[in-house]
Structure 1
Amino acid sequence: MSSNERVEQPIKFAYWVPNVSGGLVISKIPQRTSWDLDYNIKLAQIAERAGFEYALSQIRFTAGYGADNQHEPVSFSQALLAATERLKLIAALLPGPWNPAVAAKQIATISHLSNARVAVNIVSGWFRGEFAAIGEPWLDHDERYRRSEEFIRALRGIWTEESFTFRGDFYRFNNYSLKPKPLAPLPEIFQGGSSRAARDMASRVSDWYFTNGNSVDGIKKQVDDIQAKAAANRHSVKIGVNAFSIARKTEKEAQEVLAEILKHADPEAVKGFHHEVQNAGNASPEREGNWAKSTFEDLVQYNDGFKTNLIGTPQQIAERILALKQVGVNLILLGFLHFQEEVEHFGKHVIPLVRELEAAKKPVRAYA
């Protein structure tokens, strides 16, 4: 797909499934968000009506940083798929705990149960303590991405080849035949990361690349780098960006909500998260991985969502989304403070403005 074709396509919207307790901020501010199934089923149905196309179920194995409880993402995604009709669920998978043969079979079955509405997000790993807790070896930064790339190649091979053979450093298959295959279209493969290894992997094997929140200029540099490499590899990859949205009638109101989130931040939890993710981000050879340059305030939202600055009036947010689209972003992955109410509000007041701006086809000035 050319850059012009990417710009012409309507930008897509996804939300973080709160299948992990504590919401999407490391803050003790009151939140009307719950991690239980009933809340999430209603949320998924609201999101589907609101114009969201995807929902991403999170992967966590152990408590920490304000997340004391965690539902497993594959089975949780299946429950949400059963309660919806159009929404696509992206289930996070962590190589190491998951074997690609098991994952391929799980997802193929869910593809049949959901009429091909399941996708996967391959998480290379950032939480070293979690790996230690469950007895999984902790690989060096770039080794984790090498393993993830083999995992993706194995998934795609199992799903597409009648008899799959693979000889990798981490996974091996001998004439493996999976039946039934997933329904068409095949489950999309997402991955995250901001490091050179993450971008290079995306340019070779992934359908979608998720990056942490950032400014338009920061996102543009990543997009340009990935797309140039993907073109050289004769590969096509789309871009998703993390953001935390606070849409209010006035910019002042929205900024006041942000200030309250930061005011009630849990200092010990944020510092612990900061230590863990800075180790992960700085572990890349170029020291440019996720969170490598994140401040305390940035990390109150797990994936630098405040940096994307979708905080203000619906019009401001819509214009900022268009500015991201114009530098090559295809999808916005959103977190909210009060999910059910704010997803519905976003669908009523922001998405229609985005569609109007897309239809007008007028350049939107990037924001600071």
Structure 2
Amino acid sequence: MELLWYIPNQVLPGHRGDEVTADHNSLDTLTAQAKALETYGWGGALLGTGWGRPDTFTVATALVARTTTFQPLIATRPGYWRPANFASAAATLDHISGGRVLVNIVSGKDNLGAYGDHEGDQAHRYGRTREFMYLIRRLWTEENVTFHGEHFRVDNSTVVPRPLVRQPRLYFGGASEAAERVAATEADVQLFWGEPLDGVHERIERLKKLSASLGREHAPLEFGLRITTVVRDTTEQAWADARARVAVMQADHNPHPSVGQQRLLDLSERGEILDENLYTAPGKYGGGGAGTTWLVGSAEDVARSLRRYADLGITHFVLSDTPYLTEIERQGETLLPLLRN
């Protein structure tokens, strides 16, 4: 079981309700979070990406230089980097960090025009993503790579230095049919948001069958869960705090949610609480992405829920709650020991 957190490299303070505003994104603040993750036994943290945020790769590099075991899960977009540039940068950081780099490939919407990128329809977007992942794998493992695809090309390309021990693991998300075909063929880990157990089970089985039908050439696809975990000393306190936070949230009127985001938003129609403690109300009042649904309860409650996901085949967990540093420590002390035992 891999247990990661989330570090919010954001320009504006108050991300997802974090009460830290002074120097919220300074290197010292982010380093304190990364070092706390090491202290309390987390494996590392996801670093988000998007135009208008600090450059994710730069932040990851700085945090690696200040830590010893922290693994950055570096989110990147195929249109923000060229495959050979990214393969070289990631291999270099992996080499000098002692093999700590993880990679999250993102194909969601972004302000593409701001950095000179463009995308066509969904088929074009995921076709480009698949080529990106296929090509960086080859560049990490082969020499003198020549590839002429629909979206990218390289000639006689060799990346040096190589990744230290193994190629960095490729995480990927997406719920559309096009996204799942990319995951089934090229990803190492398919990340799900916080859907109910039956939905996650259905998607795992579908992706396994799809991998077989498409002739997957890599090791079997693994599965991960990215979700908000609201943990308090007691079940009652956790629910009181969760409901109080939702009461002050503002509605988020996103006119074009992704397929995965829409799946989460639709969950509220099934009920406010699913699978004992999966809270769907945040999505109705402003929660997005991993903040759309929350697992709420005592450490024992949340650990029991996460173990149910593990029983379905989830082996990678990316958890978070705010305030970030406080929750790294609280959940590191109370939740992680239960999961490891």
1:31 has 2:5 as partner: no
Paired residue type of 1:15: W
Instruction: Tell me which residue corresponds to 1:116.
Output: 99
* Runs of at least 5 residues in structure 1 that lack an aligned partner in the other structure: 1-10, 63-69, 282-288, 357-368
Query: Aligned in 2, Cα 1:318/1:93: closer, same or farther, shift over 3 Å?
Result: same
| From 41, 64, 74, the counterpart of 2:57 | 74
Q: Secondary structure at the match of 2:260?
A: coil
Equivalent-residue separation in structure 1 for 2:200 and 2:7 (angstroms):
23
For 1:286-311, what per-residue CA distance to the aligned partner results, in whole angstroms no more than 9, with x for missing partners? xxx2112343831633314453x421
In the alignment, structure 1 residue 320 sits paired with structure 2 residue 305: yes
Residue 207 in 1 paired to residue 191 in 2?
no
Taking structure 2 as the reference length, what is the TM-score of the superposition?
A: 0.88
Give the structure 2 partner of residue 361 of structure 1.
none
Q: Which residue of 2 aligns with 1:46?
A: 36
Distance 1:305 1:221, change over 3 A: farther
Q: How does 1:272-287 map to 2 (within 5 A)?
A: 274-276=254-256, 278=257, 281=258
| Percent identity between the two aligned chains | 27
Which residue number in structure 2 is paired with residue 175 of structure 1?
156
The Cα offsets for residues 16-37 of structure 1, whole Å up to 9 and x where unpaired, read as 1111244552xxx562373322
Aligned length, in residue pairs: 319
Q: Greater RCO between the two (CA within 8 Å, min separation 6)?
A: 1
Deviation at 1:320, TM superposition (A): 0.2
Per the alignment, residue 15 of structure 1 pairs with 5
| Aligned partners of 1:194 and 1:212 also within 8 Å | no
d(CA) in 2 for partners of 1:293, 1:227: 20
Q: CA deviation at 1:142?
A: 2.6
Which position in structure 2 is the counterpart of 1:365? none
> What runs of 5+ residues in structure 2 fail to find an aligned partner?
266-280
- State the Cα deviation string for residues 321-368 of structure 1 (Å, max 9, x = none): 100001111111112111111111111111111223xxxxxxxxxxxx
Matched, 1:311 2:292: no
When normalised by structure 1's length, the TM-score is 0.82
Change (3 A) 1:55 1:165: same
Q: Who is 1:7 aligned against?
A: none
State the distance in 2 between where 1:106 and 1:113 align. 11
Q: Is the 8 A contact 2:7 2:324 kept in 1?
A: no
Counterpart of 1:302?
288
Measured in 2, the distance between the counterparts of 1:110 and 1:135 equals 26
Moved more, 297-306 or 337-346: 297-306
Secondary structure (helix, strand or coil) at the match of 1:342 reads helix
- Taking a change above 3 Å as real, the CA distance of residues 15 and 23 of structure 1, as seen in their structure-2 partners, is farther
Q: Please tell me the root mean square deviation across aligned C-alpha atoms, in Å.
A: 1.9
**Does residue 219 in structure 1 map to residue 219 in structure 2?**
no
Residue of structure 2 in register with 1:252 after alignment: 236
What amino acid is the match of 1:292?
Answer: Q
Q: CA deviation at 1:264?
A: 2.2
Distance 2:316 2:302 in 1: 14
Query: Which residue does 2:272 correspond to in 1?
Result: none
Q: C-alpha offsets along residues 235-255 of structure 1, whole Å, 9 cap, x if unaligned? A: 411111111011001222112
Pairing 1:292–2:253 present: no
C-alpha distance in structure 1 between counterparts of 2:125 and 2:143, whole Å:
28
Q: CA separation in 1, counterparts of 2:304 and 2:25? A: 31
Deviation string, structure 1 residues 54-73 (Cα, Å, up to 9, x no partner): 311111113xxxxxxx2111
CA contact 1:73–1:92 (8 Å) conserved in 2: yes
